[in-house]
A and B are shown apart, each in its own frame.
Chain A
Amino acid sequence: MSGLFALLVALVAVASVVLLAQGSIAIPIGEVLRALTGQGTESDLSRTIVLDARLPKVVTGLLAGAALAVGGAQMQTLFRNPLADPFVLGVSSGAVLGAAVVILGTSGVGWLAGLGVVSQLGVTGAAVAGAAGVLLIALGIARRVGDPVVVLVVGVMLGYLAGALVDMLVYYTDPDRLQALAGFTRGSVRNVTWDELGVIAASCGVVLVLSVFLAQPLNALLLGERYAGSLGVNVRRVHFLCLASVAVLSGITTAYCGAIGFVGLAAPHLARGLLRTSDHRLVLPASALIGSIIVLVAEYVAGGNGLTATSLPLNSVTAFVGAPVILWVLLSGRAKRSAR
């Protein structure tokens, strides 16, 4: 078990270093390590590229992957649905909608315009609120309709609805502001500055660490809400805490990286498959590590390899991991079994 965690940590480290080394300008691994450890590098340029251009991207990828994966793992237990994930159930779309309302709605005399950090926080807050709104609706429906496949369809529809609202907002807005929105729907861990990274790291980091406290109650929830209640778990409070943490994790991630799909779905399944247990004390940290690896690898494939000049949206790469997992879950009948 600890060997597996060591392997995952090693993979995260390798993926990070490779991403730091590769790119439009290749930098030797030794030089990357020297830059990271603060020793003298052979050229100032490589130091700048590693620390200022590439490191924020890598750290953002690490955090975004971990945040989405832990959010997905919590949602799968909360919804009692193996297919739940922030992207699939429209939570990310809700976050985009929230952000879009603020970005596009504050044109011209908007009170947020030009307020730098404040407007940034406004967008972030609106994204979290949008995520929370969709989560509340989806959870309300999921608790009435037990069938995971129905909930899945409902989530997809909520996502479309939020997307349509964003499209309508876009239609009525002047083109200048659209640039700010373009990144949202495609998913990207680039273009994140150290300042922004501070917000991501602080909020997601705190929630990720605190989610360890939810591991035991989530284990009890695996038995069902009534059993969890009989074990002394305050089910309503745990629901609220999970909703809040998923809203923050997926809202923040979406606000800075856009909607990155399927990581939250695939990582927990891979974690459970590797660990051969559903114990959240192990599944949550393992999901975080696997989520980080998926996003880093996806970023490498999407353009961080320096082999091509063009770069793909992250979403089109993560779908290669996520879509097969959805099909596997559906076809292996796990979705049906948990619907009983």
Chain B
Amino acid sequence: MNAPALRAVALSAGYRRRRRPTTTVLRDVHLAARPGELIALIGPNGAGKSTLLRTLVGAQPPLAGHVLLDGHDLASLSPRQRARRLAVTLTEPVDVGQMSAEEVVALGRLPYRSWLGRAADRDRAAVDRALVDAGVEDLRNRPLTDLSDGERQRVMVARALAQEPAVLVLDEPTAFLDVARRIELAAMLTRLTATTGAAIILSTHDLGFALRRADQVWLVGDDATVTAGAPEDLAHGHAVARVFAGENMSFDDAAATVVVADHTVPGATVRVDADGRTRQWAEHAVRRAGWSPGSSAEHVLRVEDGTPCRWRAEGPVRADGVGFGSLVTHLRDQTATAALQPHGNAGAAQ
């Protein structure tokens, strides 16, 4: 296996402040990012994602331990040496005044140039390659201020790529993007790990994105630890559930995300009789009504494909209807009747 591009060795991160006790946010963390890996850094707000990222990129010194970049201690590298190995994109919006996308990307070559130096062929080639890799070569002459959030994000990624880094760190790259742009970005990053061979580390709140796309997940917990592993291992071993599922939340394995735990009267189990996508969305509706899809002799739900779908429920109460909206209403009505709620809302309302 390749040597890690970035390693954290016995790393403790936090804040050392004058005349106040030191705050240790993360303790004794061991991590390794290998070339070509896409790594998602996840964790609840306030657990220390930003602190870890800032320490990994050298924006703040570690309290203890080391960050090794390409085998060199980060603290021993000059800012320029570091900038040739490590590139970042930040969440803060940039306002560069009047600059084209290409000019912004060319700033990524600064670590390779003297303060007066003109762009060499090698610099121009690196900028061209970065523009192509990030899929923004069509935008190269457009002013950055004219671009959409998604396009600007990609230009900033291209600028980072122009640094030809061994490690690319993206802070919340999906934060301001809509669903389609997020998926585009994910596909691009996956492609980039292959084309550039860089290790890409990104922090995200999008749990589904992390579990579906990442080669490795770094899970920051509330207890000052970071758990690293394949997404499936962390999900299967309940590590994700432990960190994210609080009082009212539970981890839904099928959806690969955290859902609101049902603390209302639990509904019964219903056997869903449908095919393919229809079945998938019927089960979605069943869950939303507080029921669970499964095997049941008592409750059977048949759904016919169509737009909208036609459904028929068999059991103690028979009903049928068109559209999943009426199905959910029907299932909830049954729960309400069956529960004989001593503290139910139905009685209080009347």
Q: Which residues of A contact B (CB under 8 A)?
A: 80, 212-217, 219-220, 222-224, 226-227, 229-234, 272, 276-279, 337-338, 340
Contacts and interface: CB of A to CB of B under 8 A. Distances in A.
B83 interface: yes
Interface residues of B, number: 32
Given A226-B92, A229-B59, 19 more contacts: A213-B115, A213-B116, A214-B115, A215-B115, A216-B116, A217-B115, A219-B107, A223-B96, A224-B92, A231-B108, A231-B110, A232-B83, A233-B110, A234-B79, A278-B96, A278-B97, A337-B95, A338-B97, A340-B95
Q: Which of A213, A217, A227, A276 has the most CB of B within 10 A?
A: A227
A227 B170 CA distance: 12
B93 A229 contact: no
B234 to A, nearest CB: 29
Contact of B82 (A214, A217, A232): A232
A272 B79 contact: no
A-B pairs, 7 with minimum CB distance:
A232-B83, A278-B97, A232-B80, A232-B111, A222-B96, A232-B79, A231-B110
B57 A216 contact: no
A233 B114 CA distance: 11
B108 A226 contact: no
A219 B97 CA distance: 10
Contacts of B104: 223
B99 A222 contact: yes
A234 B83 CA distance: 11
Contacts of A232: 78-84, 110-111
A279 B236 CA distance: 52
B70 interface: no
B98 interface: yes
A105 to B, nearest CB: 38
Nearest to B143: A276
B103 interface: yes
A270 to B, nearest CB: 13
Contact of B107 (A214, A226, A231, A277): A231
Contacts of B113: 216
A219 B57 CA distance: 22
Nearest to A82: B97
B331 to A, nearest CB: 47
A99 B181 CA distance: 58
B97 A230 contact: no
A278 B107 contact: no
B176 to A, nearest CB: 12
B94 interface: yes
Contacts of A234: 79
7 contacts: A219-B107, A224-B92, A224-B94, A230-B86, A232-B84, A277-B103, A278-B96
Interface of B: 57, 59, 78-84, 86-88, 90, 92-100, 103-104, 107-108, 110-111, 113, 115-116, 163
A276 B142 CA distance: 12
A69 to B, nearest CB: 16
Contacts of A226: 59, 88, 90, 92
Contacts of B107: 219-220, 223, 231
A230 B86 CA distance: 8
A215 B117 CA distance: 11
Nearest to B118: A281
Contacts of A233: 79, 110
Given A213-B116, A231-B111, A279 B94 contact: no
Q: Which of A214, A232, A276, A340 has the most CB of B within 10 A?
A: A232
A228 to B, nearest CB: 9
Nearest to A237: B79
Nearest to B100: A277
B81 to A, nearest CB: 8
Contacts of A227: 88, 90, 94
A338 B115 contact: no
B175 to A, nearest CB: 15
Nearest to B57: A230
Contacts of B78: 232
Nearest to A339: B95
A277 B78 CA distance: 30
Contacts of B83: 230-232
Contacts of B108: 231
Contact of A278 (B80, B88, B98): B98
Contacts of A337: 95
A210 to B, nearest CB: 11
Contacts of A219: 107, 110
Q: Which of A224, A226, A231, A279 has the most CB of B within 10 A?
A: A231
B116 A212 contact: yes
Contacts of A222: 94, 96-97, 99
Contacts of A230: 57, 83, 86-88
B76 to A, nearest CB: 15
Contacts of A279: 99, 103
Contacts of A216: 110, 113, 115-116
Nearest to B94: A223
A213 B114 CA distance: 9
Contacts of B84: 232
Q: Which of B80, B82, B96, B113 has the most CB of A within 10 A?
A: B96
Contacts of B59: 226, 229
Given A231-B111, A231-B163, A277 B99 contact: yes
Contacts of A217: 115
B164 to A, nearest CB: 13
Contacts of A220: 107, 110
Contacts of A338: 95, 97
A231 B104 CA distance: 12
Nearest to A214: B115
A275 to B, nearest CB: 8
Nearest to B82: A232
Contacts of B163: 231
